[in-house]
């Protein structure tokens, strides 16, 4: 069964550094998402991406965040200057156009900002 793949599984960075979290969605999927879960809190929506542009984003997704689909297979989330409060588990998800709202998730990347 195809899966959404996320790398790395754990990323440790210093405050102020840029990080790029990588995701390989399922190959025939057209909608892509990032969510995050701060320890002990809810999984929160960050951004959705379709047809090479952001279709929706939450208040969390400020100017420090950006997403890109650089090569037709990868889907990346960049945080330009990390803050302590960016420490969280980041989940990527993807969906087929016909899938009637079923999103498939990766295992997540745990980001630790020191």
Partner 1 sequence: AQSVSQHNHHVILSEAASLELGCNYSYGGTVNLFWYVQYPGQHLQLLLKYFSGDPLVKGIKGFEAEFIKSKFSFNLRKPSVQWSDTAEYFCAVLPSSGAGSYQLTFGKGTKLSVIP
List residues binding partner 1 (CB under 8 A): 3-4, 6, 31, 33, 35, 40-45, 48, 55-56, 58, 91, 93, 95, 100-108
CA distances from 101 to 26, 38, 69, 104, 110 (A): 15, 24, 21, 10, 25
Cβ-based nearer residue to partner 1, 9 or 81: 9
* Shortest spacing between CB 83 and partner 1, in angstroms: 22
Cβ-based nearer residue to partner 1, 86 or 106: 106
Quote the CA–CA distance of 19 and 29 in Å, as a whole number. 25
* Shortest spacing between CB 48 and partner 1, in angstroms: 6
Quote the CA–CA distance of 12 and 14 in Å, as a whole number. 7
**If residue 27 lies in a helix (H) or strand (E), which one and from where to where?**
none
Return the closest-CA partner of residue 93 out of 77, 81, 85, 104.
104
* Shortest spacing between CB 77 and partner 1, in angstroms: 15
Cβ-based nearer residue to partner 1, 3 or 68: 3
* Shortest spacing between CB 110 and partner 1, in angstroms: 11
């Amino acid at each position: 069964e195809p899966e959404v793949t996320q790398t790395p599984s754990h990323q440790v960075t210093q405050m102020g550094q840029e990080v790029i979290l990588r995701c390989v969605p399922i190959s025939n999927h057209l909608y892509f998402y990032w969510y995050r879960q701060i320890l002990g809190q809810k999984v929160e929506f960050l951004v959705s991406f379709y047809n090479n542009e952001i279709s929706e984003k939450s208040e969390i997704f400020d100017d420090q965040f950006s997403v890109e689909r650089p090569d037709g297979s990868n889907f990346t989330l960049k945080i330009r200057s990390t803050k302590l409060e960016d420490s969280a588990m980041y989940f990527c998800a993807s969906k087929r156009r016909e899938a009637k709202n079923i999103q498939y998730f990766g295992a997540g990347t745990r980001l630790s900002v020191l």
